[in-house]
Amino acid sequence: DYRRGGYHAVRIGDAFKNGRYVVQSKLGWGHFSTVWLGWDTQKSRYVALKVQKSAQHYTESAMDEITILQQVAEGDPEDQKCVVKLLDHFKHSGPNGQHVCMVFEYLGDNLLTLIKYSDYRGLPIHRVKEICINILQGLDYLHRQLSIIHTDLKPENILLLSVIDPSKDPIKSKTPLILPNSRDKSSIESAVSRLNANMGRETSAAKRAILEREGIKMGSRSTRQNLLASADLRCKLVDFGNACWTHKQFTTDIQTRQYRCPEVVLGSKYSTSADLWSFACICFELATGDVLFDPLNGAYILHFQDHLALMMELLGMMPRKIALGGRYSRDFFNKFGDLRHIRRLRFWPLNKVLVEKYKFSERDASELTEFLVPILDFVPEKRPTAAQCLLHPWINRIPCSLEPNQAQETQNSQKKRDKDEKEAMEIGMRN
Please give the Cα distance from 72 to 337 (Å, whole number): 41
In sequence order, the 6+-apart residues with CB closer than 8 A to the CB of 84 are 69, 104, 105, 107, 159, 236, 237, 238
From Mg ion, ligand ATP, none, interface partner of 110 (C-beta below 5 to 8 A by class): ligand ATP
Instruction: Considering only residues 323 through 382, tell me which ones interact with ligand ATP, judged by CB under 6 A.
Output: none
62 touches ligand ATP by CB under 6 A:
no
Q: For Mg ion, how many residues bind (rule: CB under 5 A)?
A: 4
Shortest spacing between CB 216 and ligand ATP, in angstroms: 20
The yes or no reply on residue 159 touching ligand ATP (CB under 6 A) is yes
Regarding 22 and contact with ligand ATP (CB under 6 A), the answer is: no
Q: Which segments are annotated as binding site for ATP?
A: 50
Return the closest-CA partner of residue 110 out of 159, 161, 154. Answer: 159
Is the distance from CB of 270 to CB of 259 less than 8 angstroms? no
Neighbours of 168 (CB within 10 A): 15
Site for ligand ATP in 232-251 (CB under 6 A): 238-239, 241
Longest Cα–Cα distance in the chain = 71
Separation CA 191–CA 307 (nearest Å): 48
- Closest approach of Cβ 395 to Mg ion, in Å? 25
Q: Residue 255, interface with ligand ATP (CB under 6 A)?
A: no
Stretch in the footprint of Mg ion (CB under 5 A) among 124-132, 149-157, 322-330, 381-389: 149-157
- Choose the contact partner of 273 out of ligand ATP, Mg ion, none; CB within 5 to 8 A by kind: none
Beta strand residue intervals within 243-301, DSSP E: 244-245
Task: Please tell me whether residue 45 adopts helix, strand or coil conformation.
Answer: strand
Question: Of 285, 287, 254, 273, nearest to 139 (Cα)?
Answer: 273
Q: How far is CA 22 from the centre of its chain?
A: 27
User: Judged by CB under 5 A, does residue 285 bind Mg ion?
Assistant: no
The residues near 103 (Cβ < 8 Å, ≥ 6 apart) are 21, 38, 40, 47, 48, 49, 50, 86, 87, 88, 89
Measured in degrees and rounded to the nearest 5, phi and psi for residue 337 equal: 85, 20
Could you give phi then psi for residue 228, rounded to 5 degrees? -75, -20
Which residue's CB atom is positioned nearest to ligand ATP?
Answer: 30
State the nearest-atom distance from the C-beta of 82 to ligand ATP, in Å: 13
**Closest residue by Cα to residue 102 from 36, 181, 160, 56:** 36
- Candidates 10, 49, 82, 84: give the one binding ligand ATP (CB under 6 A): 84
Specify which residues 159 forms β-bridges with: 110, 236
Distances (CA, A) of 206 to 86, 168, 213, 264: 21, 12, 11, 39
Q: Which of 14, 140, 152, 275 is catalytic?
A: 152
Q: Is 374 in the site for Mg ion (CB under 5 A)?
A: no
Spell out, one character per residue from 29 to 48, where the chain touches ligand ATP: x when CB under 6 A holds, - when not.
xxxxx-x------------x
Our finding on whether 256 is near Mg ion (CB under 5 A) is no
Fill in the per-residue mask, 17 to 56: x = in contact with Mg ion (CB under 5 A), - = not in contact.
-------------x--------------------------
Q: Is 152 a catalytic residue?
A: yes
Name the binding residues: 50
**Among Mg ion, ligand ATP, none, what binds residue 124 when CB lies within 5 to 8 Å by partner kind?**
none
Number of residues binding to ligand ATP, judged by CB under 6 A: 22
84 binds, among Mg ion, ligand ATP, none (CB under 5 to 8 A by kind): ligand ATP
For binding to Mg ion (CB under 5 A), which residues are involved?
A: 30, 157, 239, 241
Where along the sequence are the contacts to ligand ATP (CB under 6 A)?
Answer: 27-33, 35, 48, 50, 84, 104-107, 110, 156-157, 159, 238-239, 241
Catalytic residue numbers?
152
